Amino acid sequence: MPVYQAPLENIRFVLHDVLGAESLSQLPGYEEVSIDLIDQILEEGGKICEEVLFPLNQSGDQEGCHFDDGNVTTPKGFKEAYDTFVAGGWTGLACHPDYGGMGMPTLIGTAMKEMICSANMSLGMYPGLSYGAYEAIHKFGNDTMKDLYLPKLVDGIWSGTMCLTEPHCGTDLGLIKSKAVPNDDDSYNITGTKIFISAGEHDMTENIIHLVLAKLPDAPDGVKGISLFVVPKFVPDDAGEIGERNAINCGSIEHKMGINGNATCVMNLDDAKGWLVGEPHKGLRAMFAFMNDARLGVAMQGLGIAEVAYQNGAAYAKDRLQMRSLTGAKYPDKPADPIIVHPDVRRMLLVSKAATEGARALSYWVGMELDISLHHEDEAERQRADDLVALLTPVIKAYQTDMGFEIANHTIQIHGGHGYIAEYGVEQYARDARIAMIYEGTNGIQALDLVGRKMAQGFGRLLRRFFHPVSDFIEAHQADENLQEFIFPLAKAFAKLQQSSAMTAQKAFKNPDEAGAASVDYLRQFALVSLAYMWCKMVIAAQKKLESIEEGGEGDKAFYESKIKTARFYMQRMLPEADSRFKMVLAGAETLMAPSQDDF
């Protein structure tokens, strides 16, 4: 049976020692945020993830969702677990108090998302999608729409979805065929078919609020003609209670590789009633509010899967006895040594540990910057933080979901044959992780977004939001003898990232295929340097804690020493990949584009 324990010590280390999350109390609306409050929320969040969500993960995968004449039933126990989750107020953790939310920082919600995704990714998608719907309506809906929908989305009584993809188009949303015809009462009749709609139909909530992309009769071609509509499963009456059934129905659910506890639906709209969110033909901008939140959420799915997979790999490696250590028996009283003594097993575990802990620091930093972008009183500071979030969103979405799948595969390999069978539960992590590399924009699209849009935006303004603090950090610490083994590798890798950025931008200006050819390797290079930066920050934090312990302060010495050992492994065994990615970026598009279609 798989295991999971909320990594609270690691989470607290990043929040308090590395990021100083309590400083968010200086932002308007977050005045009550403190170390004690953060820790209390995380403690309770960890309990519900361990005790309520995680026990249903394997059984939910094995049972899956049931489809019967348009109705979907979730796996046994899901509804009850969701009700417990709602009763604890977790659906409103990072939502505004005006609509019944707790008003906690996005950063705390980010940490909670990680634990939810580790515990039960399928179940966690239901409230996760609702939060995305909340964000879109909160930012772009009118006051009447906000008052009608937001309180019940926050309470978890209603849930939300995002309806973009159609049978003939996914990434290229300009090709959508769904139509919205205006009525005399400010509503619209919407007709079309949407596919791959996560949580499109289920039995967890009394109403489902769909956000649907469609085109008005006078819409211009392409993405400039897309509008966003809110389409409830049941149309609320004047009192805000559910009324008549709307003409949006589930035609079928998909039989999938993973996330079987979450219903992936075909949704058919036949003159369904909808209401415009925001301005006509400006739906893509509004949907990107949902999409960007979803991409950050998917990044946490990758991290969550990586964490729980690593925990299971480490537990099995300490317990499984096979052969003797290459340097002689380490446990002579046993018939064999545990496999954790073997270098290759240690390699897989350390890759998993270093990538997971580094990604946690990186994604929490993005979560904190998102809070600054939304709440800081200084407009220039809000813009700086918003730029950084925009730049790093495709990086963490692509890298962390790639990483989640890679670490799940490492865990299967560590388990050997037992990893390949369902009984041990770890093969599910690879199956669940795989979709995160695809939905909310494939990882190839994230790479194109980084190179094609974010790199050029503001004549490199977004890149400078990352490059300048990293450069300043290196300059500030390069003379510190205690940090040189970490700072020097970062400095070398960072210099090559700057070089590949300049060369890719130059070459892509002349030939767009150069951007496409470089994009995936460039994003990976960017991610590896970003994690190196975060590992340097974690080393500094760990060294300070160790100094405090030596002076009589409290703390777990072994925990902080482990951080430094893991950082050393990352710098010597993982960061060098950035150099090979640098060479791949410089290789250009020629070898990719030269073969004709007949060569394949």
Long-range Cβ contact pairs of 510-513 (< 8 A, separation 24 or more) = 511/589, 512/452, 513/589, 513/592, 513/593
Q: Which DSSP string corresponds to 537-553? A: HHHHHHHHHHHHHHTT-
Annotated catalytic residue 427? no
141 contacts 152 by C-beta, under 8 angstroms: no
Q: Which DSSP string corresponds to 163-202? A: E--BTTBSS-GGG---EEEE-TTSEEEEEEEEEEEETSS-
Q: What is the dihedral of CA 482, 486, 491, 492, to 10 degrees?
A: 130
CA distance 307 to 472: 31
CA distance 114 to 298: 10
- Our CA angle for 141, 151, 127, nearest 5°, is 90
Helix (H, G, I), strand (E, B) or coil at 441: coil
CA distance 394 to 391: 7
CA distance 257 to 264: 11
Beta bridge partner(s), residue 193: 268
Tokens of 102: 């707790």
CA distance 373 to 371: 5
DSSP H helical segments within 478-597, as ranges?
A: 484-510, 512-550, 557-569, 577-587, 590-593
99 contacts 148 by C-beta, under 8 angstroms: no
- Catalytic-labelled residue, pool 135, 166, 201, 440: 440
CA distance 571 to 214: 48
**Catalytic positions, please?**
440
